[in-house]
Structure 1
């Protein structure tokens, strides 16, 4: 049997070798489209993992994850901070702020199911909106934290 870089068996199921932070993000992606609609436009809630030139705005990209050991000493746990980016070309910051508010309403303090872990709750940490240096694109950044414990 060949083992993977992390020491797990190569023939393990994909969910057993997927890093825990990726499972949390996957659960967020499943949760958000059903829960959030932007009333002023067609649904914007298609999430991407990277920006692509020419993509119609507004849209959301899944950004960076920071994973640190959790506070529990008697159980394997992690704290995961996930960043979502909102991209808009609307004049002013209002569209990005509305979308970030809808994301917060859809995800803050909501339960998520993550395979192999106790039920997870996402907690809103903070958000900010600003204009990119080109003066045309508005950029919103919103962060959530999940604390997970292995079953």
Structure 2
């Protein structure tokens, strides 16, 4: 299994296992957000709040090639989207959900089936207002070190 996909699947399972997080977003955790056509443009077809997976970067970890273990440093982003009234009007709801995402994944013991997770850590959280002036957007980034199976020498 491709390491970034396997890591994302494990992260998704960890997010879904967080009862505090699912109490806020339900099952609305997406790889690709449902869309609909509005005035000839695709727009999200989902109710606030929700979570989506964002960009992923994978780099070979060449710190020590002598141990015959291939590993990758994978950085991935999770996005939180919130708008509406009450706590969703300001950034409070977005901040709360972002904090729960961080809590669910930072230093988590995610189980991978093909590869081995060495570490996962939270590296950045940004809360911003999108250009529409309405949507609160949380950007949470994590970096993980994932080892592949041992190779023969």
Q: TM (normalized to structure 1)? A: 0.80
| Alpha-carbon separation, structure 2, partners of 1:45 and 1:143 | 21
1:95–1:42 CA distance, 2 compared to 1 (3 A): closer
Q: 2:64 aligns with which of 72, 79, 85?
A: 72
Q: Give CA deviations for 1:127-149 in whole Å, capped at 9, x if unaligned.
A: 10111111111111000111011
Distance 1:108 1:42, change over 3 A: closer
- Give the one of 95, 99, 115 matched to 1:117: 115
Where do 5+ consecutive residues of structure 2 fail to align? Answer: 36-43
Residue 15 of structure 2 contacts residue 21 of structure 2 at CA under 8 Å; is this kept in 1? no
Matches within 5 A, 1:1-150: 18-38=1-21, 42-44=24-26, 46-51=28-33, 52=35, 53-70=44-61, 71-74=63-66, 75-89=69-83, 90-150=88-148
Give the whole-Å Cα distance in 2 for the aligned partners of 1:45 and 1:72.
Answer: 41
Change (3 A) 1:72 1:57: farther
- Greater length-normalized contact order (CA 8 Å, ≥ 6 residues apart): 2
TM-score, normalised on structure 2?
0.79
Report how many residues are paired.
133
Q: Where does the alignment leave 5 or more consecutive residues of structure 1 unmatched? A: 1-17
Larger strand fraction of residues: 2
| Post-superposition CA distance 1:2-53 (Å, at most 9, x none) | xxxxxxxxxxxxxxxx3211100000001111124248x6544531123332
Higher helix share: 2
